[in-house]
Amino acid sequence: MYAKLYGATLHGIDGCIITVEVDISQGLPVFDMVGLPNQSVKEARERVRAAIKNSGYDFPMRRIVVNLAPATIRKSSAGLDLAIALGVLVASGQIRGRKANISALLNRCLFMGELALDGSLLPTFGTLAMSLAGLEANYSTIYTSVENGHTLKAIPNLTIYGESSLQDIISVLEEQVKSKSNSNSKQVKRQKQPTKHINEVQKKVNNNSELQIKYDSNLQIHCENQNEMLTDTMDNINPSTMYDVDFGDVQGQELGKRAMLISAAGHHHCIMIGPPGGGKTMMAERLPTILPPMSWNEMVEVSRIQDVIGLLGDNGLVRNRPFRHPHHTATLASMVGGGIQGRPGEVTLAHGGVLFMDEAPEFQRQVIDALRQPLESRTITINRSQGNYIYPANFICILAANPCPCGYYHDPHRECICSETMVKNYQQRLSGPIMDRIDLHIPIERPTLEQLLDHSMSTMTSESMRQQVIMATALQQKRYENLEFNSNGVVPHKAIGELCNITDKAWSVLGNIFDHFHLSGRAFDRILKVARTIADLEGNPQVEPHHISEAMLFRTGK
């Protein structure tokens, strides 16, 4: 007796379709699993056995072999429980209906869910990534838990059956087998949308069974009507009500808020250096409030990453841009990702949002230096014996630092107690290559008492700043239409001169600055990019000398 159906597992942050084959034959009672299952999947034997019995069915006392294909991918998801249990029941003939009809139905479906011992269906991590992989492979019907069903209901072109137990799943299957129509079926929600397709990641398994995975950071869901949005996800999104903080709360620090505006408009990394209590953390926490609202594709992209490690919950897609604030004791693996299964780190979890590293010099040197690749390429590569993972890491990096260990170096009101050697060693914790990759260097001073008490002095609010960012972003998207990038901060070196439209006078000013300060080629490029963003904020199609001067101010403080 044989049955075949389909489940899914995670490999890194991507879903992989798994073929679950169950063979029941005469012999001593044994329940074997093959196909490179890990410990959590091996433990499914006892969960499946108990769930089948407690759901009112008989567990076959015969030789049962479960094959999980392809064997080159390690199976790590407890979400395979449901597919294995159903395979055992189908192979043993305990699901009512003609076998041909059952097989035809199972060939179009994907089963994801962990089983409790009483047969209840439990939610699992990564169902969004696995469902998108199923949709790419033409599995448009998903059977899962109620909680995961609520998460997946926003994905178009999927028929979702979210049930609470194994018994409920079997009842739905038997009804589907009995009837050719799905109109009377029990569903969480059925999405009816125009035809859409997803350009998913490509996975290649070479002859050495080494898996190379590259995440497609340009994941797109295309609609016949590009202006159509899913009403239950996109309607009534008002950015001004999505956050509890506002830049209007920041008193003084007009230079810092100007730098935050430029950072958000052009996707530029920045570092704030100043004494404790100057407002560095306060401004960094408010940066997401002025970023443009996420598009539908960005919501899917961010949500699938967060779902992999269980941050998504059952409230649908993420609407707020990520804001990651790791502690300075964070390890290298927690920052860039790692582990046997390639768990994503903070740089990937911040994708599409902000990575804020407060007290940056207190981080381990190797952790800070590991940011070199994501700051430059907006991706992170993790090499493991079982394969290479290339994850997205397109975030705005905000570093905050004190000028010295005590924090009051060159402070006009407080005496610094650090020696020159201590100050030098402290500042050298941020290496030259890292500082060279930071677009905006912002000196922060403590606000005066007058600034703290006079609320009328704060003229920049999140709403007004967001409108400027949206305007500048629209100009960049139009300028870089049909190109692989869409913001000034990621324009490659070879395209800067051609696309940034710099006047001759601006080139002359920049040349003088380059010779005077002995800038590196990378610093030269980043000044041009920041100047282009400043011009976009003014709505100026050309980069003028004063744009170069302001960009240079944020590079050298002069």
Domain that holds residue 385: 242-458
Final residue in a domain of this structure, among 159, 190, 221: 190
Confidence of residue 189 (pLDDT cuts 50, 70, 90): very low
* Alpha helix positions (H), 223-329: 231-234, 254-266, 280-286, 296-308
**Residue 529 covered by a domain:** no
Final residue in a domain of this structure, among 393, 423, 458: 458
User: What is the pLDDT at residue 505?
Assistant: 93
User: What is the pLDDT at residue 154?
Assistant: 82
* pTM of the predicted model as reported, rounded to 2 decimal places: 0.84
Confidence of residue 243 (pLDDT cuts 50, 70, 90): confident
Final residue in a domain of this structure, among 415, 439, 458: 458
- The number of folded domains in the chain is 2
**Residue 500 covered by a domain:** no
382 beta partners: 389
- 145 & 248 share domain: no
**Residue 508 covered by a domain:** no
pLDDT at position 359 over 70: yes
- 327 & 454 share domain: yes
The segment with the largest mean pLDDT, out of 186-190, 234-238, 275-279, 458-462, is 275-279
**Residue 339 covered by a domain:** yes
pLDDT at position 186 over 50: no
Category of 2 on φ-ψ map: left (φ > 0), alpha (ψ -120 to 50) or beta: beta
Q: What is the CATH number of the domain that holds 264?
A: 3.40.50.300
- 24 & 169 share domain: yes
- 160 & 298 share domain: no
pLDDT in tens, 214-232: 343 333 333 333 333 344 4
User: What is the pLDDT at residue 457?
Assistant: 62
- 19 & 90 share domain: yes
User: What is the pLDDT at residue 98?
Assistant: 82
Say which DSSP state 120 is in: B
**Residue 220 covered by a domain:** no
* Mean pLDDT calculated for residue range 262-277: 95
- 298 & 168 share domain: no
Which is it for the CA torsion 487, 488, 492, 495, positive or negative?
A: positive
**Residue 164 covered by a domain:** yes
- 144 & 255 share domain: no
The kind and range of the H/E element at 336 are helix 332-336
User: What is the pLDDT at residue 170?
Assistant: 95
3-state helix, strand, coil in the chain (%, to 5): 40, 20, 40
pLDDT in tens, 88-122: 999 999 998 888 888 888 988 999 999 999 999 99
- 33 & 139 share domain: yes
Torsion of Cα atoms, 380 then 402 then 457 then 451, to 10°? 160
pLDDT in tens, 456-469: 666 688 999 999 99
61-70, 338-347, 501-510: least confidently modelled range: 338-347
pLDDT at position 272 over 70: yes
Burial category of 131 from C-beta neighbours within 10 Å (exposed 0-12, middle 13-18, buried 19 and up): buried
- 266 & 352 share domain: yes
**Residue 222 covered by a domain:** no
**Residue 557 covered by a domain:** no
- 330 & 255 share domain: yes
> Which tokens sit at 509?
């000013």
- 347 & 437 share domain: yes
- 178 & 251 share domain: no
User: pLDDT > 70: what percent of the chain?
Assistant: 87
Q: What is the CATH number of the domain that holds 83?
A: 3.30.230.10
Confidence of residue 144 (pLDDT cuts 50, 70, 90): very high
